[in-house]
Structure 1
């Protein structure tokens, strides 16, 4: 009986941690600080080769 309770508690904990991780990733992705980086990354397919190399050097 105690083992089944432990398994249930572990499943609940993993579910809550997974949900919090998902919320954290969404918050990170949609934060205002990241919008400029994502906008630059979205335009990379349309950039020339020289512009692409310059953008890659800028991001490290």
Structure 2
């Protein structure tokens, strides 16, 4: 096994990891949780500066 085989394996693992994360993020089941997380910065309207 030379360095090119290792590079190929790391590239393949990285691609599979990216595809898995992208598939997880686009699942309809996770949509509500992501929408709630997107609203977090706007949830504390009381503590603003005057």
Q: How many residues align?
A: 45
Give, in whole Å, the separation in 1 of the partners of 2:11 and 2:25. Answer: 21
- Report the TM-score, using the length of structure 2 for normalisation: 0.75
The structure with the largest alpha-carbon Rg is 1
The answer for unaligned runs of 5 or more in structure 1 is 50-60
- Report the TM-score, using the length of structure 1 for normalisation: 0.64
* RMSD value, Cα: 1.6
1:58 is matched with none
